[in-house]
Structure 1
Amino acid sequence: MTAGEIEFEPLDTSDLDRWVGQPIGGPRLKEPMTAMDIRRWVQAMENPNRLHFDEAFAAESTFGRLVAPQSFTMWWCRGQGGFSAAFGEIPGAHLSEVADEWWFYGPRLYPGDRVRCDRMHFDYRVTTTGFAGPSVFQRGDTTYINDRGEIVAKQRNTMLRFLPANARKIAEAARAAGGAGSPDVVADRAKVGEEKLAYYRTFADHVQRCGKGVSVGDELPLGVIGPHSVASFTTQWRARPDNVWGVLTDDIALPLGYPTATSSPDMVVDPAVAAIDPGRADGLYYGPASTHVDLEKARAIGMPREFGYGYAISAWTMDYIGNWAGELGAITHSKFRNQAPALAGDATYLRGTVKAVSDDPLVAGAARVTVDVSLRSQNEVGIGVATFEVRLPWSI
């Protein structure tokens, strides 16, 4: 049977229309961020830039103290911005983050800051994907505002919502036809380790880059993440604040419509039980996120094995650009699209190329540098693509 001959289960999107364009509610964090929160985040994202965890090194920098990477902005919102992109019930559906677009407005985040998240469900479209047949791409906006009333960033997140029953049919048809699927080839750990050290050396000291030192066609250093494993996926999950017991409280009184049904009965979170055992609402131990670290559950939604989170892949890409831009640079806009999961056993390689250098239209004396990034596994499987706009001073 080919994919074109599969009889797909129908996708019921009738509950989605009422959420489009609506401001929506959600939980918020009780306490301000700490240096420990930043340290935990960069450790989980495999980003050993000392600006974010070594206070002595950071004190010597242009920031003068520990500063969060720009990827940390998503730390503040439940689901790392995905909460606003998954409103409304689709019976039997699972969801996965597949794209991110960001606009940064200047303020950076430091220990002691508080951030409020304003959310709105933006839109959705129904299409057919090679992975799961009838699917929904759903978008939501999150605006991040610090406790001084400054807008830090706006994020437009995209979630893929699909029926695992259809994804399994496609995977089974591919196997029956002798399809390649995802090769179960483990990355060479020693080789990856040496490549990571080579990458880390490119930002081991203070990086101060300016526009005059950048040219179209410049290749960025090779970035490396991995090899991925259940341990690394779990570490990434544990760096998120929204699954820590007791850290959330109800936000302003706006409607809620985050889906509570899941594709499988053993992933349903029962609020009454979770009130007694908070671990039942963890997501990783119980709930849809367990598909990332449980082989049987991963295969139940059409994945070949355990796999990484869309938000983490987006964060890797943002950190990669931030490390290259250095202390004088800042990401002003980014657009990331996921192509395939980062699978357990694989490594992810990031390659960047400067595509344009021009005057920044918003800041006199600054350059706007456009960088294209591709992410691929050691087997040359495309994991994602991104385009970044970076603000640099023309000269130091």
Structure 2
Amino acid sequence: MADSAALEDEARLDLSDVEWRLGQLVGGGQLLDPCSSSDIRRWVMAMDYPNPIHWDEPFARASEFGGLVAPQSIAVCLDYGHGCQPAVVGHIAGSHLIFGGEEWWHYGYRIRPGDQLFQERRFHDYKIADTKFAGPTMFSRGDTIHRNQHGTVVAKARSTGIRYLAAEAEKRGLYQKKLPPKPKWTAEQYAEIDQVRLAWILSNREGISPIFGEVQVGQRLPRRVIGPHSIASFATEYRAFLFNTWGACRTVAPEGVKDPWVDQDPGWVAGFGFDKERAKIDPRAGDGLYVGPSRGHIDDEKAGEVGMARAYGYGATMQAWVTDYIAYWAGHQGFVRHVKSDFRGPAFEGDVTYFDGEIVEKTAETAWGVPLVTIKARLTNQNGGVLVDTTAEVELPLG
């Protein structure tokens, strides 16, 4: 049984508007328009993913796809609110949110220009824990099923939101205490980063898929690097998510659900909420970056108010990076079937993110009906700090 101090801490999170919504279908935003080739190009540009089948029309037309296809990671771009809508359910006064992880199942469909995704969302579960970062903290999970315009199930996502009291995180100042100063990079270091980046691009630019019978446990994937991250790169990433484009969404609510969670205020701390009335005439007031919960990603002062030391990146972006990294290695005939990522920390402004992966298992017969290799991947910064731990199951051709 928890001691009285722990109970007092837990009571500081008012869950009265959360508990009764457990298991309910959730509403949210629905994009009005199908995915375009420009949307795909903008997405891979923002994710720094230069795979030519996603942006180079002549290359893609000459491939087995016969034209541009979207990366698997774009499913979150064709959703609302970075895909965490069903994990952030119920009003918790004075709270903020960071991402704790994502799990994706992909069912074999490749998104192309002209496709449109529709979402079915459900608040799955939550737990409360005491953290050094913010004291009483909620880890909540929500599920999203993505279907295309024909009703085909494209993917399922389970997102984890970390909800906490912003004032408590600001008071504790964990990142302010432990985060090293923003690094300054020399010309020589920039050149080294660029060499790693270019070597990774050239490692499989033609999209040749490894053969299942030829890859070996212990085989390592080529190293990837992204960065140094900047205010400009964070803003570019945010603007690639289509839901924050002015007028791009309408709100939808599930039928038959009493008081469904759609676009209510989750309890954002002062200065991080939307101004919905003003947004009717000034859409910037509702786009999330200039006004809204994502302000801390591009503003050091605002980042400090929610317990982060300086501008920082997005959880949904890190998951996209991981999926792209593994899909690039898997080539045109490969397919990422399942990927589960635990987020350990954000990419801060000035940092560089390195990707390393290794094959840890091969399974010829699986529940998917295809042979899979299991890959463990890790994202780290220039100091070796871990950002993401990932396990992925990847389909490869037999020969």
Q: Which residue of 2 is the match for residue 198 of structure 1? A: 199
Q: Which moved more, 1:268-277 or 1:300-309?
A: 268-277
Q: Which moved more, 1:243-252 or 1:182-191?
A: 182-191
Q: Which residue of 2 is the match for residue 40 of structure 1? A: 42
Secondary structure, in 3 states, of the residue corresponding to 2:125? strand
Mapping for residues 1-40 of structure 1, pairs under 5 Å: 10-40=12-42
The CA deviation string for residues 230-273 of structure 1, in whole angstroms up to 9 with x for no partner, is 00000001101101111112324442255515443222212111
Q: Which residue of the other structure, out of 291, 297, 305, is the alignment partner of 1:292?
A: 297
Please say if residues 295 and 305 of structure 1, whose CA atoms lie closer than 8 Å, have aligned partners that are also in contact.
yes
Mapping for residues 41-56 of structure 1, pairs under 5 Å: 41-56=43-58
Q: Which residue of 2 is the match for residue 158 of structure 1? A: 160
Q: d(CA) in 1 for partners of 2:96 and 2:142? A: 17
Shift of 1:58: 1.0
TM-score, length of structure 2 as denominator length: 0.92
Q: Structure 1 residue 335 and structure 2 residue 340: aligned?
A: yes
Q: d(CA) in 2 for partners of 1:50 and 1:156? A: 29
Mapping for residues 131-210 of structure 1, pairs under 5 Å: 131-171=133-173, 180-187=178-185, 188-210=189-211
Q: Which moved more, 1:244-253 or 1:71-80?
A: 244-253
The CA deviation string for residues 309-350 of structure 1, in whole angstroms up to 9 with x for no partner, is 000001000000000000010011110010011000001001
Q: Which residue of 2 is the match for residue 229 of structure 1? A: 230
Q: 1:261 to 1:102 in 2, by over 3 A?
A: closer
Shift of 1:62: 2.1
Q: d(CA) in 1 for partners of 2:337 and 2:21? A: 29
Q: d(CA) in 1 for partners of 2:368 and 2:275? A: 51
Q: Which residue of 2 is the match for residue 357 of structure 1? A: 362
Please say if residues 262 and 288 of structure 1, whose CA atoms lie closer than 8 Å, have aligned partners that are also in contact.
no
Q: Which residue of 2 is the match for residue 367 of structure 1? A: 371
Q: Structure 1 residue 392 and structure 2 residue 390: aligned?
A: no
Shift of 1:55: 1.2
Secondary structure, in 3 states, of the residue corresponding to 2:324? helix
Q: Which moved more, 1:352-361 or 1:249-258?
A: 249-258
Mapping for residues 70-89 of structure 1, pairs under 5 Å: 70-89=72-91
Shift of 1:185: 2.2
Q: 1:54 to 1:19 in 2, by over 3 A?
A: same
Secondary structure, in 3 states, of the residue corresponding to 2:126? strand
Secondary structure, in 3 states, of the residue corresponding to 2:191? helix
Shift of 1:393: 1.5
Q: d(CA) in 2 for partners of 1:230 and 1:266? A: 19
Q: 1:171 to 1:327 in 2, by over 3 A?
A: same
Please say if residues 83 and 258 of structure 1, whose CA atoms lie closer than 8 Å, have aligned partners that are also in contact.
no
Aligned amino acid, residue 198 of structure 2: L
Secondary structure, in 3 states, of the residue corresponding to 2:243? coil
Please say if residues 251 and 263 of structure 2, whose CA atoms lie closer than 8 Å, have aligned partners that are also in contact.
no
Aligned amino acid, residue 277 of structure 1: D
Shift of 1:170: 1.9
Q: 1:360 to 1:148 in 2, by over 3 A?
A: farther
Secondary structure, in 3 states, of the residue corresponding to 2:84? helix
The CA deviation string for residues 267-320 of structure 1, in whole angstroms up to 9 with x for no partner, is 221211111101000110001101100010011111111000000001000000
Q: Which residue of 2 is the match for residue 303 of structure 1? A: 308
Q: 1:191 to 1:206 in 2, by over 3 A?
A: same
Q: Which runs of 5+ in 2 are unaligned?
A: none
Please say if residues 82 and 158 of structure 1, whose CA atoms lie closer than 8 Å, have aligned partners that are also in contact.
yes
Q: d(CA) in 2 for partners of 1:115 and 1:11? A: 35
TM-score, length of structure 1 as denominator length: 0.93
Please say if residues 144 and 153 of structure 1, whose CA atoms lie closer than 8 Å, have aligned partners that are also in contact.
yes
Please say if residues 94 and 270 of structure 2, whose CA atoms lie closer than 8 Å, have aligned partners that are also in contact.
no
Q: Which residue of 2 is the match for residue 379 of structure 1? A: 383
Q: d(CA) in 1 for partners of 2:67 and 2:214? A: 26
Q: d(CA) in 2 for partners of 1:143 and 1:261? A: 22
Identical amino acids, percent of aligned pairs: 39
Q: d(CA) in 2 for partners of 1:186 and 1:19? A: 47
Please say if residues 336 and 386 of structure 1, whose CA atoms lie closer than 8 Å, have aligned partners that are also in contact.
yes
Secondary structure, in 3 states, of the residue corresponding to 2:389? strand
Q: Which residue of 2 is the match for residue 62 of structure 1? A: 64
Shift of 1:191: 2.1
Q: d(CA) in 1 for partners of 2:208 and 2:265? A: 46
Secondary structure, in 3 states, of the residue corresponding to 1:114? coil
Q: d(CA) in 1 for partners of 2:237 and 2:338? A: 24
Q: d(CA) in 2 for partners of 1:350 and 1:93? A: 32
Secondary structure, in 3 states, of the residue corresponding to 1:201? helix
The CA deviation string for residues 145-178 of structure 1, in whole angstroms up to 9 with x for no partner, is 0112110010000000011211122227x87xxx
Q: d(CA) in 1 for partners of 2:227 and 2:315? A: 15
- Runs of 4+ aligned residues of structure 1 deviating over 6 Å after TM superposition are none
The CA deviation string for residues 99-135 of structure 1, in whole angstroms up to 9 with x for no partner, is 1001111111000111111111111111112211110
Mapping for residues 245-260 of structure 1, pairs under 5 Å: 245-254=246-255, 255-260=260-265
The CA deviation string for residues 344-393 of structure 1, in whole angstroms up to 9 with x for no partner, is 000100100000112142466x4210000011001111111000000111
Secondary structure, in 3 states, of the residue corresponding to 2:288? coil
Aligned amino acid, residue 137 of structure 2: S
Q: d(CA) in 2 for partners of 1:387 and 1:294? A: 32
Aligned amino acid, residue 387 of structure 1: T
Secondary structure, in 3 states, of the residue corresponding to 2:242? coil
Please say if residues 86 and 258 of structure 1, whose CA atoms lie closer than 8 Å, have aligned partners that are also in contact.
no
Provide the aligned C-alpha RMSD in A.
Answer: 1.9
